Amino acid sequence: MPTNKNAYIRYKCLDKLLSDRHHYYDRKALTEKVNDMLYELGYKPVGKWLYSGKWQAETL
């Protein structure tokens, strides 16, 4: 469960992108798309460091 509203919004954006089976997104493309979605919603964009640690932990 997200600890704040910004995390919840990011998770919803990621879920929307990852559930699209017709597109393949790498880490950089996901970050760019999520930042675009956050900007459209009026939220502050995130940096690439936010996802790098979590993605590395999942690949081990």
For 5-59, what is each residue's pLDDT tens digit? 778 888 898 899 999 889 888 888 888 898 999 899 998 887 765 555 555 544 4
- Sign, CA dihedral 16-55-58-21, equals positive
What's the pLDDT score for residue 45? Answer: 83
- Global pTM exceeds 0.75: no
Asked if 43 contacts 6 with a C-beta cutoff of 8 angstroms, the reply is yes
